[in-house]
Amino acid sequence: MQAATEQNKHKVFVTGASGKLGQALCQDLMKSGVFEVVGSVPPQEVKEKCSKLEQCGCKVCECDAAKTESVVKVLRETKPMQMAIIGTAESHQAEHLKSYIDAAKEAGVEYVLLFSSAGADKDVTIWGKQFHEIEDYLKRSVKNWTIVRSMFHAENFLLYAKEIKEHNTLTMPTNDYFAPVSVLDVACAATHILKDCQKHHGKTYDITGVKAKHGTGFAKAASKALGRKIEFKKISMEDAHKLLIEHGMKHDKADFLISFYKAVDENKLNFVSPDCRTLTGTDPMSMRQVFEHYGDILGKKKEE
């Protein structure tokens, strides 16, 4: 497959386009000027998210991942050359991801990019166990593929926005080291892969933040970014799970996040990878930059 150019645009089908990573990827692909993008959203997705995708020039379509024939039908209608598959972080995501892979094969999609999870090679989290299986399934099912394993998404800190904004505390159940990465950087790395996917065929990349920090370090980064003192508060895994549920998170995803925190406690995810810089030519955002980027949500102190 030739590299994507303005004269030779690639059509990309993006699953999970209404999620944070999906939206970031669709927007990044469209900004590059060398892609046509079809963003797949689940049936009955909120109109606000769909309109954001349409505003950036992305074509939006409904797709039911639970029905392979439904996905095949949409793929045959839209005729993408490439497909970017993003998980849902829900209990049935393994079946849905396999459904997307099967549909891509049946519809003749030439290339598949799978977004996976850090630690998938070691089965160290619930996510990792699922994606270990999915990665193997992808390799057996399609000829041309690339896997992007991303670390804990830095946007997960927004789940604690209320505590940060109202109580000046960053609450987590671990104070060990890991290197979160923004979905904006994951999307940027993926866009570079998709521009010339043949160079990346059969490869697996680990996308992490630029530096590993612990809870106290994250609080210091937040303090510098937001212009006020943010304290780190460690809580139990049980209390962390309850807090996530109180903030509206589904039990499935809360279980996944707690599984990640436990792996961090066991020092199984304390690595930093250079792959983001290798792919994009620049370092991913630091945690201070991430907190600054989302300052409006986190109550950044306004300059007088």
- Residue 253: the pLDDT is 87
**Number of Cα atoms under 13 Å in the Cβ half of residue 81:** 16
Mean pLDDT of 269-289: 97
> Can you tell me the distance from the alpha carbon of 142 to that of 113, in angstroms, rounded to the nearest whole number?
11
Tokens representing 11 are 């059509």
- Residue 43: the pLDDT is 79
Does the structure show a pLDDT above 90 at 180?
A: yes
End-to-end CA distance of the chain: give it in Å, rounded: 54
pTM of the entire predicted model: 0.95
Give residue-wise pLDDT tens across range 89-111: 666 788 999 999 999 999 999 99
Residues 6+ away with beta carbon under 8 Å from 57: 30, 37
Give residue-wise pLDDT tens across range 11-57: 999 999 999 999 999 999 999 999 999 999 987 766 777 888 899 99
Residue 82 sits at φ, ψ, to 5 deg, of: -130, 155
CA 208 to the chain's CA centroid: 11
Question: Going along the chain, which residue ranges are E strands?
Answer: 10-14, 35-41, 59-62, 82-85, 111-117, 145-150, 169-172, 204-207, 231-234
Does the structure show a pLDDT above 90 at 128?
A: no
Question: Using an 8 Å Cβ cutoff, are 261 and 237 in contact?
Answer: yes
- Residue 250: the pLDDT is 87
Give residue-wise pLDDT tens across range 68-78: 898 999 999 99
Selected residue with higher pLDDT from 268 and 83: 83
Three-state SS for 44-96 is CCCHHHHHHHHHCCCEEEECCCCCHHHHHHHHHHHCCCEEEECCCCCCCHHHH
Give residue-wise pLDDT tens across range 183-240: 999 999 999 999 999 999 999 999 999 999 999 999 999 999 999 999 999 999 999 9
Mean pLDDT of 235-252: 92
- Mean pLDDT of all residues in the chain? 93
Tokens representing 155 are 């946007």
CATH: 3.40.50.720, 3.90.1150.10, 2.70.98.50, 2.60.40.1930. Which one for 10-151+182-207? 3.40.50.720
- Burial class for 272, CB neighbours closer than 10 Å (0-12, 13-18, 19+): middle
